[in-house]
């Protein structure tokens, strides 16, 4: 019996029971589609988060008030022994030669108003250097002036969403807005950027850090961003920053983390999550395999005369085994290909709904899903196929 004969025999048998074959095929396709969709979701989340951090550079150190012992982590939300002050940030930039530039950051929320229009947004207090450190760009006007860090100024740069809400159809440049009780002149509008590290940069107001700390009644900075001259100097710069601030505070009460350490940790965690999601989805393929096995067992019991006739004509056990295994593999392979189409369609719909999420199934997930679907058909088809090979030809011809 040639391979084409085996394939044709199995195909005709499957077409003879279309509903039963279709249900088994659907079970496999759902399992494969689940693997594709969930791994694409996990991979999209990984690429999105890593891209958010990478968008603000890789030669960065982030200094936070509070001490944590976990490498690459963030300190807790409890109180800290000492404030992280503007004087601390200036001392770091001036005393450590590996630091090229820095930008202190204070963060809060406040109502921004113009006339009768008002909107509550995030207020970011920072310096002129933030424009380069956070890779921001301007749609109109200019950024904060290069002032001394401890000097305030009644100027603000606003995001595009805030601009369109407060000044619909007109330029906000040179106009006065009220941030809380403070009157501020708009000097620039940020180019559209979307969310960056959890902050919608299109819906913010950026003011000088000294002004923000008074406006928000803050004594401690939220963060200090430091740009290191070279990537190879990151570890040395981090140690120097930690040592200098520990000497100023009398204890080690700050956390200094490297941007690439955060990227590596997040990439590893989210990569493992993607694999876990794929593994969970693959369980449904095992359930589909049980369905294939049940279908094939029923098929064997219904076709005992057919098997008996084949054996009477000289078909060996290996050929009978090949016939029924081919049926099972055809079902699982067709279901796998159909599942790929379903999965890609679901991913395309997800990306259309959330364009910022770069969801795409990893290559290993596509290959693994197809290979697993074929393996499921072959694995769960063995028992029915072996049962068919054990049938006695005489008894099978008699339908027993």
| Same domain flag for 182 and 311 | no
Q: What is the pLDDT of residue 24?
A: 74
**Percent of the chain residues topping a pLDDT of 90:** 26
Which distant-in-sequence residues (6+ apart) come within 8 Å of 260 by Cβ? 58, 231, 234
The pair of structure tokens assigned to 315 is 């078909």
- Planar angle of CA 322, 323, 328, nearest 5 degrees: 90
How far is Cα 302 from Cα 388, in angstroms, rounded to an integer? 11
206 vs 155: CA distance, rounded Å: 9
Structure-block tokens of residue 110: 């406040």
The percent of residues in the chain predicted with pLDDT above 70, rounded, is 70
pTM metric for this prediction:
0.58
Give the residue-averaged pLDDT of 2-20: 60
Q: pLDDT per residue over 57-116, tens digit each?
A: 668 888 888 876 544 444 444 445 678 899 999 999 999 999 988 999 999 999 999 988
Q: For residue 210, what are the CA distances in angstroms to 23, 105, 206, 296?
A: 68, 10, 12, 76
User: Is the residue at 143 inside a domain?
Assistant: yes
Structural domain count, the chain: 2
- Contact (CB, 8 A) for 103 and 206: no
Structure confidence by residue, pLDDT tens digits, 357-381 = 788 888 888 888 888 778 877 776 6
d(CA 225, CA 130): 8
Q: Tell which of 195, 227, 252 closes a domain.
A: 252
Q: Higher pLDDT residue, 12 or 186?
A: 186
Q: Which domain does 48 fall in, by range?
A: 3-52+264-397
CB hemisphere CA count around 112 (13 angstroms): 31
Last residue of a domain, one of 186, 217, 252: 252
Q: Are residues 89 and 117 in the same domain?
A: yes
Same domain, 248 and 161: yes
Closest CA to 219 of 80, 74, 52, 49: 80
Task: From 308, 286, 309, 310, select the one nearest 375 (Cα to Cα).
Answer: 286
Last residue of a domain, one of 252, 272, 300: 252
Q: What number is the average pLDDT over the span 256-279?
A: 72
Q: What is the DSSP string of 238-278?
A: HHHHHHHHHHHHTS--EEEEEHHHHHHHHHHHHHHHHHHHH
* Domain membership flag for residue 64: no
Looking at the fold, whether 268 and 248 belong to one and the same domain comes out as no
Which of the residue ranges 14-23, 85-94, 336-345, 380-389 would you say has the lowest mean pLDDT? 380-389
Same-domain pairing of 90 and 223: yes
Q: What is the mean pLDDT of the chain?
A: 78
Question: Is the pLDDT score of 120 beyond 90?
Answer: yes
389 CB contacts (<8 Å, ≥6 apart)? 317, 320, 321
CA distance 375 to 343: 19
pLDDT digits (tens, 9 = 90+) for 132-141: 888 888 999 9
């Amino acid at each position: 019996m040639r391979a084409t004969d085996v394939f044709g025999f199995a195909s005709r048998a499957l077409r003879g029971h279309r509903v039963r074959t279709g249900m088994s095929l659907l079970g496999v396709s759902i399992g494969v589609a689940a693997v594709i969709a969930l791994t694409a979701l996990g991979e999209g989340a990984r690429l999105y988060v890593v891209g958010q951090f990478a968008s603000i550079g890789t030669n960065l150190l982030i200094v936070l008030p509070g001490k944590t012992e976990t490498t690459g982590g963030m300190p807790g939300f409890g109180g800290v022994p000492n404030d992280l002050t503007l004087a601390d940030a200036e001392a770091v930039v001036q005393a450590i030669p590996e630091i090229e530039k820095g930008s202190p950051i204070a963060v809060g929320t406040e109502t921004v108003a113009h006339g009768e229009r008002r909107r509550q947004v995030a207020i970011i207090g920072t310096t002129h250097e933030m424009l380069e450190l956070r890779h921001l760009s301007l749609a109109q006007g200019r950024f904060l002036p290069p002032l001394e860090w401890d000097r305030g100024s009644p100027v603000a740069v606003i995001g595009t969403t805030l601009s369109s809400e407060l000044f619909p159809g007109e330029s906000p440049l040179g106009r006065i807005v009220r941030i809380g009780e403070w009157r501020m002149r708009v000097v620039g509008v940020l180019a559209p950027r979307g969310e960056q590290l959890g902050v919608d940069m299109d819906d913010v107001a950026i003011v000088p850090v000294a002004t923000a700390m008074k406006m928000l009644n803050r004594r401690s900075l939220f963060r200090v961003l430091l740009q290191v001259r070279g990537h190879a100097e990151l570890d040395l710069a981090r140690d120097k920053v930690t040592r200098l601030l520990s000497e100023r505070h009398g204890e080690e009460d700050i956390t200094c983390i490297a941007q690439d350490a955060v990227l590596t940790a997040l990439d590893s965690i989210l990569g493992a999550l993607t694999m876990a999601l794929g593994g969970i989805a693959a369980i449904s393929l095992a359930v589909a395999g049980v369905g294939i096995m049940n279908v094939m067992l029923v098929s064997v019991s219904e076709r005992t005369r057919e098997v008996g006739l084949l054996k009477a004509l000289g078909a060996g056990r290996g050929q009978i085994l090949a016939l029924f295994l081919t049926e099972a593999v055809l079902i699982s392979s067709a279901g796998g290909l159909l599942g790929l189409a379903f999965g890609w369609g679901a991913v395309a719909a997800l990306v259309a709904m959330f364009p910022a999420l770069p969801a795409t199934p990893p290559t290993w997930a596509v290959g693994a899903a197809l290979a697993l679907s074929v393996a499921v058909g072959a694995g769960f088809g063995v028992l029915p196929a072996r049962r068919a090979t054990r049938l006695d030809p005489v008894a099978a011809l008699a339908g027993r």
